[in-house]
Structure 1
Amino acid sequence: MKLLPALLLSTLAAVTPLAAADSYDIVVYGGSSGGITAAIQAARMGKTAVLIEPTKFLGGLTTGGLGATDIGNKKAIGGISREFYANIFTYYADPAKWKQQTREQYFAKRPHGNSSTETTMWTFEPHAATEVYDAMLAKVKDKVTVVFGERLDLKKGVVKNGTRITKIIMESGKEFEGAMFIDATYEGDLMAKAGVSYHVGREANSLYGETINGLQMAGAKHHQFIKNVDPYVKPGDPSSGLVWGVTPMPEGKDGDGDHRIQAYNFRMCNTDDDSNRVPFPKPENYDEKQFELLLRNFEAGDPRHPWAPTPMPNRKTDTNNNFAFSTDMIGMNYDYPDADYATRAKIWKAHEDYQKGLMWTLANHPRVPEKIRAYYSQWGLAKDEFTDNGNWPRQMYVREARRMIGGYVMSEQNCKRRVIVEDSVGMGAYNMDSHHTQRYVTKEGFARNEGDIQIGVRPYPISYRSITPKAEQCTNLLVPVCLSASHISYGSIRMEPVFMVMGQSAATAAVLAIENGVELQKLDYAKLKEKLLADGQVLDFESPPMPEHVAFTKEQVGGIVVDDSEADLSGFSSEGHTTPGFVGQGYRHDGDSLKGEQKARFTPNLPTADQYRVAIAYTALGNRAEKVPVIIHHADGEKTVIVNQKEKPTEKHNLLPLGTFRFESGKTGWLEIRNEGTTGHVIIDAAQWLAK
C-alpha cells in the first residue's frame, strides 16, 4: 500500500466532513479522580456519560504517585470517595498483593494515620489505585464510555447556545454533545473556554476579608533555610547576579495580591529494595547550576535530607517536598495555568528534568556530603511502577491553576467555620496548605523562600454554588476540581478525596437538573441534599469554629520569661502558630526529624539568688512527642524531667511546672529542651522562672 505524504493527509483531513458528534447525557472532560467519580455516579443514576481523558491514563494524582492521602479528619469523606478507600483496603487484604513485604510488616509502621483495624486504607501504590479504579469503572461500562488521548481544541473547543454548552470539539475534530458538562481537569480548560470567570494567583487579603492570602514574607515560616546561604553567583558580590532560582526581593507588603501560584512537583514512587530499584537517572540536559544553592546549603552545615518519603506498601514511598530546597520547582510555573499545550509541555518537561537532576545530584554529586550521598544511593525509582513512562510519575502535581469565580467563593472564613454555608455538597478537612511561590534574596543578602502557609481548619461544608458558574455565564457546566475558592481556602480543598466527593456531587446535580428540566443554578437544593445523603455523602457534622490565634505576652505569663525567639537554638528551625495558646509570636518545633541533633537552651537573667519554680510553656496535640527530655541546670546541679507533650499543661498560659530549684543571680542557670529519644513533634515555646 502506497503511503500518502503527511501534507496531503492533513489537507484531506481539513476537507473531509466530520462524523456526527457523539451524544451523551453527561460529558465529563478530565479523567482525574473527580472525573472518575462523576462518571460512575452518572451511570449509577441511569444516565450515559463519556469520560474524556487527554492523556493515556486515568486517575490523575491518585494513580500518579500521591498515595499518601491528605484529608485531615477522615470522617468528612463519604460516598464513592470512601468506597474507593474501602476498595483499596480490600485490595491489600489479598496476601498475593504483598511482594516486597508482608501486610503485617507494613502496618507495624502505622504510616500516615493508617490502622490495620480499619475497613478503609488511605495509603497505596500507584498501580493499585489504577486497578481499583478500573474495576469500579468496569461495573458501569454499559453506561460510561472512556475516551483517551483527546484534548480540547483551545481555539474553537466550546460551542454554546446562550448560556448552555451544546458541544465540545477536540483537536482531532472529534465532537461530543451533552445535556450537562463537567470540567474535572486540574487546569480548568473547559471552564475557561466556556466563558466562565476565574482567577489565577493569590488574591489580596482585603478581597474576601482574609488574613493569610496574598504575599507572605513574614508569614512563610516553614521549609526555610536554617543557615544563611549566599545567593550570589560570586559569593558576597551582588553585582555578579543571582544563582538559578533566586529572584530579587518582591515589592509590596504581606497580604497584597499577586500573580504567583504555589510550586509544582512530582510525587515520586521510590524504593530501597534492590530487587525493585532503578537508580536515579541523570537527565540528558542536566544543569548543575540549578542546584548551586542546594550545594551551598549543605556546605553551610544543613544536615537535613531534602525530601519527605511516606511509606507505601511493598517498601515503596510517596515522596514529597520537604525543607528549603527540595522537589518543588519554586517559581517556575506561573505561566502554566493559562498556557497553550506546547508551553505547558515545556514547563512540564522542565519540572521533570529539574526533579530528576535533583535526585541524581543528591546521590552522586561530590559536593553533597558523603553521608547524604550514601543515603540517597540506596534509593531509586520503583521498577514496577509507571512502566510505560520510564518509572517516572505520569502526572505532575498541579497544586493550583485556574480557580473559578462562581456563585460563591469559598474563603478562609469557611475553612475556619466562622461562616458556614447551608448548601453543602461535601466537606473539606485538611489544613489551609500553600507551598512556596518564590525564592528571593533578603535585604541582608541571603536566600529565603516565600509563600508556604500551614494553618489548621475545622471540618467544614463546601457550597454547591462553588462548583457552579454564575448563571449569566453558563447554566449546564459543573466544576468540581478548579472550583470557586480563594487561593488559601483552595489550599485546603484541593485534596484528592475531596475532588472525588465533589465529582460525585457534581454528577448528582447534573442528573437531577436533567430530570427536572432546570438550569443548574435553579436546582432545588433540598432534592439535591436528599439524594447526596442517600448515596452516603457527608455534608456536615458539628464542629466548633477555629479559635483566634490566642497569644500570651510575657507580662501576662508573669515572672522571668524567656521566649523561643530568645533561646539559643541548635535546630528547631520550624516555626508554627497554628495551635493557639502560645507565648509571643508563635512557637518552634523539631519537625519530628533529626532526632538527637536538636536542642534549645533558655537562659534567664535572674535579678537575685533565690528559689525559683521553673515551668515550660507548650501547646499539646496528638502529634506531639511523649518523652521529651528537659534539663534544668541550677545552682546545686542538674535535673532531667521527662515531659509528655501530648498532655495539656496543668496551669493557665499553657504552663507545666517542672519543680523548684535554687539559682544564683545573673545568667548562671538555664533550661534545655532536647529531642533525643523522642517520637513525634517536640515543641519549644517559652520557659518561666518564678521566685518563691
Structure 2
Amino acid sequence: MMKISKLIKYNIVVVLALVQFSYGMHNDVKSLDADVVIYGGTSAAIASAVQLVRMNKSVLIVCPEKHIGGLSSSGLGFTDLGNKEVIGGISKEFYQEVYKHYQNKDAWNWQPREEYGNEGQGTTAIDDEFKTMWTFEPHVAEQIFENFIRENNISIHRDKWLDREKGVKVANGKITSIAMLDGTIYEAKIFIDATYEGDLMAAAGVNYHVGREANSVYNEQWNGVQKGVYHHSHNFQELNISPYIIPGDSTSGVLPRIATGRIGENGSGDNGVQAYNYRLCTTNAEGNIVPFEKPENYDSAQYELLRRIFKGGRHSMFGGGKIPNKKRDVNNVGPFSSDNIGMNYEYPEASYEKRKEILKEHIDYHKGLLYFWGHDESVPERFRTSIKKWGLAKDEFTDNGHWPYQIYVREARRMIGEFVMTDNEILGKSKVLKPIGMGSYAMDSHNVQRYITKEGYVQNEGDLGIEPDAPYQIHLGTILPKQEECRNLLVPAAVSSSHIAFGSIRMEPVFMILGQSAGTLAGMAINEDQEIHEVDYDSLKNKLLKDGQVLSY
C-alpha cells in the first residue's frame, strides 16, 4: 500500500508539472530580464548586442522589426562612407564580412565579378588592402546581421512594439521595465534605445528636439532655414517654374506637393524634417526584374510639377549607385524625385497608426513616380524606353512585394543629452574631449520644404552638403541622456546633436560604431557596479581602442 501511495503522489507531481509546462507553452511569457535590453533592430542595435556578448553580459534585443539591420539591409547598399580609415571595430567587421561574401564566385549570380565597377561614394568600393567592401545587396547585409545574431547566441524578440503611452516604468531616475503592446515586460539593469525614431528615449521622459534649431541656439552656421543655398542639383535653381495650376495665375490654386505657408528667415529654426524616401533595389538583369506597376490610386496630377521640369529641359530621374549583380541602390535625384518633401513632419512623434498612414502615402507617391516615369507622355520617349528595362529586384525583399522593409528615416527625434554635437565640432572649430568614435561624411541634409518664392516661382530648400576638412571625433555625451533625466539609458542612433550635425553622424557605419561604444559603456558599468555616467572615461577609451575602435585621426 505504501509503494502504491508513493507512486500516486509521484504521478500527481508529474501531472502538475506537465500542466504547468503546458500552461507556459500556451501562454506568452509575460516577464523577461537581462543585464541589458536593447530596443530596436537597427545596425546600431546589432553592434551593441555583439559587444555586450563579447563582454560576457546577458542581452536581449526587442524590436518592432521582423527583418533586422535597419537601412543597411533595407536598400542602402551604396554606403555613405566618407573616410574609411576611421571606421573600426564591429562596424569594420561588418564590411569585412561583405568582402568575404563577394570573394565567392557563387555570389555573382547575375553578372561576372569582373564586370562590376569599383567606385562608390568617393572611395574604392572593394578594398583588398583592408579586406572590406562598401557596396552590397540588401539580402547579403541582412544575412550578415543574422549571422552575427546566431554566432553570438543573441536572443532577439521580433515584432514587439513598445507601449509608448504607459509601457515605460521609471523610478528614481532609472528605467525599471519596458512593456510591449502584447503585454510582455522586459527588465534590465541598463537599456539601449537603438531605434531611428528614439521611441524609448521619448517614452522615458528624456528631452529631445524635432526639426531644425536656429543657428543662434548653438552658435552654428549651417542649421535652420537655408534659402538660396544650393549645394547639390536637387533644386529648381535656374528653372523659373510657376507653382500654380494655371501657370502665372495665383488665383487658380497651387500644384500638389508645394507648401503655401510662410517660410522663415535664413538661420531661423522650424519644425521641418529632412525628406524621407525608400532606397529601392532595382535591376535590369533579365530574369530578375519585377516591372514597376501602376498603383491602384495613381493620380498623374500629383506629378504635374515634374511635367514642367521636363518641359524646362531637366531630365534627372533615376539616381543611385551600382551595387553587385546588376543592381542599383536608387536614391533621390533632381528637384522632384523620390524624396517626398514636406510629407514627413509628423512622423517622428506620430502614433503607430499615424506612422502607417504616412508610410503608405510615401509608398503610393514613390510607386506612382516610378509609373509616371515609364508611362507619362511628358517624359521623353527615350527615357520611358530606358526605365522600362528596369524593375524591382525579384530576389530582394521577397516577402514584401520586393519593396524595402524600412523607409529612410534620415532624422526624427534627436536627444538633448550630456553633450550636443554641432557643426562647430564637425568642422573642427570646437574640440571633443571624450571621443567614442569618429565620423567623416559631409553634413548632408536633404530638402526640408518646397515653397513659393517672393518672385512667384517654386523652389526647394534645405538641401545641404558641407564637407569637413578632416574626420571628426564624436563625444561620449552624444549617447548619454542628462544624468538627472535618466541614469540607465544609452541612445546610439537618435543621438544628441543639432539637425545639421546629425546630417553627418547619421551614416550607417557611424551608427554601428556608436552602437558598439554604447554596448562597451553598458558592459563596463555593470562590471564595475557603477552608473553609466560614472564610468571612468580613460578606462572606457582604453577598452574601445583594445576592441578596434578608432578615436583619433
TM-score > 0.5 by shorter chain: yes
Instruction: Tell me what 2:311 maps to.
Output: 299
Is the counterpart of residue 62 in structure 1 residue 72 in structure 2? yes
The one-letter code sitting in structure 1 at the alignment partner of 2:351 is: D
Task: Using the aligned pairs only, state the percent identity.
Answer: 49
Distance in 1 separating the partners of 2:182 and 2:494: 25
Work out whether residues 101 and 315 of structure 1, in 8 Å CA contact, stay in contact via their aligned partners in 2: yes
Instruction: Tell me what 2:365 maps to.
Output: 354
Work out whether residues 307 and 323 of structure 1, in 8 Å CA contact, stay in contact via their aligned partners in 2: no
Q: CA deviation at 1:20?
A: 4.7
Q: Deviations over 1:447-491 (max 9, x none)?
A: 100001110112111111110000000000000000000000000
Q: CA deviation at 1:109?
A: 6.3
Is the counterpart of residue 398 in structure 1 residue 409 in structure 2? yes
Q: CA deviation at 1:227?
A: 2.2
Instruction: Tell me what 1:102 maps to.
Output: 112
Q: CA deviation at 1:18?
A: 8.0
Distance in 2 separating the partners of 1:133 and 1:18: 26
Instruction: Tell me what 2:489 maps to.
Output: 477
Work out whether residues 305 and 372 of structure 1, in 8 Å CA contact, stay in contact via their aligned partners in 2: no
Work out whether residues 107 and 116 of structure 1, in 8 Å CA contact, stay in contact via their aligned partners in 2: no
Is the counterpart of residue 345 in structure 1 residue 345 in structure 2? no
Instruction: Tell me what 1:90 maps to.
Output: 100
The one-letter code sitting in structure 2 at the alignment partner of 1:84 is: F
Q: CA deviation at 1:282?
A: 1.4
Distance in 1 separating the partners of 2:259 and 2:33: 50
Instruction: Tell me what 1:208 maps to.
Output: 218
Instruction: Tell me what 1:151 maps to.
Output: 161
Work out whether residues 347 and 355 of structure 2, in 8 Å CA contact, stay in contact via their aligned partners in 1: yes
Secondary structure, counterpart of 2:287 in structure 1: helix
Q: CA deviation at 1:361?
A: 0.5
Distance in 1 separating the partners of 2:203 and 2:312: 49
**1:158 to 1:111, Cα distance in 2 relative to 1, 3 A:** closer
The one-letter code sitting in structure 2 at the alignment partner of 1:345 is: K
Is the counterpart of residue 436 in structure 1 residue 447 in structure 2? yes
Work out whether residues 230 and 236 of structure 1, in 8 Å CA contact, stay in contact via their aligned partners in 2: yes
Instruction: Tell me what 1:243 maps to.
Output: 255
Secondary structure, counterpart of 2:73 in structure 1: coil
Q: What's the TM-score once normalised by structure 1's chain length?
A: 0.74
Distance in 1 separating the partners of 2:345 and 2:127: 42
Instruction: Tell me what 1:665 maps to.
Output: none
Distance in 1 separating the partners of 2:507 and 2:121: 18
Q: Deviations over 1:133-185 (max 9, x none)?
A: 111221111xx211110000011111111111111000000010001100000
Distance in 1 separating the partners of 2:36 and 2:303: 47
Which segment is superposed worse, 479-488 or 306-315? 306-315
> Which residues of 2 match residues 316-331 of structure 1 at below 5 A?
316-331=327-342
- Which structure features the higher share of helix residues? 2
Q: CA deviation at 1:62?
A: 0.3
Distance in 2 separating the partners of 1:112 and 1:289: 38
The root-mean-square deviation of aligned C-alpha atoms, in Å, is 1.5
Instruction: Tell me what 1:286 maps to.
Output: 298
Q: Deviations over 1:238-260 (max 9, x none)?
A: 01111001123633310000000
- Which structure features the higher share of strand residues? 1
Secondary structure, counterpart of 1:269 in structure 2: strand
Q: CA deviation at 1:446?
A: 1.2
Distance in 1 separating the partners of 2:28 and 2:179: 11
Instruction: Tell me what 2:51 maps to.
Output: 41
Distance in 2 separating the partners of 1:314 and 1:477: 41
Distance in 2 separating the partners of 1:20 and 1:368: 56
Work out whether residues 59 and 133 of structure 1, in 8 Å CA contact, stay in contact via their aligned partners in 2: yes
Q: Residue 73 of structure 1 is aligned with which of 76, 83, 107?
A: 83
Instruction: Tell me what 1:30 maps to.
Output: 40
Distance in 2 separating the partners of 1:272 and 1:60: 25
Secondary structure, counterpart of 1:54 in structure 2: coil
Q: Deviations over 1:603-652 (max 9, x none)?
A: xxxxxxxxxxxxxxxxxxxxxxxxxxxxxxxxxxxxxxxxxxxxxxxxxx
> Which residues of 2 match residues 569-584 of structure 1 at below 5 A?
none
The one-letter code sitting in structure 2 at the alignment partner of 1:125 is: E
Distance in 1 separating the partners of 2:219 and 2:230: 20
Instruction: Tell me what 2:549 maps to.
Output: 537
Q: CA deviation at 1:71?
A: 1.9
Q: CA deviation at 1:505?
A: 0.3
Q: CA deviation at 1:366?
A: 1.6
Work out whether residues 111 and 311 of structure 1, in 8 Å CA contact, stay in contact via their aligned partners in 2: no
Q: CA deviation at 1:540?
A: 1.3
Q: Residue 152 of structure 2 is aligned with which of 126, 140, 147?
A: 140
Distance in 1 separating the partners of 2:205 and 2:515: 21
Instruction: Tell me what 1:336 maps to.
Output: 347
The one-letter code sitting in structure 2 at the alignment partner of 1:186 is: Y
The one-letter code sitting in structure 1 at the alignment partner of 2:105 is: P
Secondary structure, counterpart of 1:47 in structure 2: coil
Q: Residue 229 of structure 1 is aligned with which of 241, 266, 269?
A: 241
Distance in 2 separating the partners of 1:273 and 1:315: 6
Work out which of the two has the higher radius of gyration on C-alpha atoms and give 1 or 2: 1
Q: Residue 525 of structure 1 is aligned with which of 537, 542, 548?
A: 537
Instruction: Tell me what 2:208 maps to.
Output: 198
Q: Deviations over 1:256-293 (max 9, x none)?
A: 00000100000000011121111112111112121110
Which segment is superposed worse, 242-251 or 317-326? 242-251
Instruction: Tell me what 2:319 maps to.
Output: 308
Q: Deviations over 1:284-341 (max 9, x none)?
A: 1112121110011112222x22231211000001110111111000000000001100
Q: CA deviation at 1:521?
A: 1.1
Q: CA deviation at 1:354?
A: 0.5
> Which residues of 2 match residues 411-422 of structure 1 at below 5 A?
411-422=422-433
Work out whether residues 420 and 460 of structure 1, in 8 Å CA contact, stay in contact via their aligned partners in 2: no
Instruction: Tell me what 1:375 maps to.
Output: 386
Q: Which has the higher contact order (CA 8 A, sep 6+)?
A: 2
Distance in 2 separating the partners of 1:65 and 1:112: 19
**1:243 to 1:89, Cα distance in 2 relative to 1, 3 A:** same
Number of equivalent positions: 523
Which segment is superposed worse, 348-357 or 222-231? 222-231
The one-letter code sitting in structure 1 at the alignment partner of 2:258 is: V
Distance in 2 separating the partners of 1:252 and 1:331: 15
Which segment is superposed worse, 112-121 or 335-344? 112-121
Secondary structure, counterpart of 1:259 in structure 2: coil
Work out whether residues 69 and 123 of structure 1, in 8 Å CA contact, stay in contact via their aligned partners in 2: yes
Q: What's the TM-score once normalised by structure 2's chain length?
A: 0.93
Secondary structure, counterpart of 2:266 in structure 1: coil
Secondary structure, counterpart of 1:180 in structure 2: strand
Is the counterpart of residue 160 in structure 1 residue 184 in structure 2? no
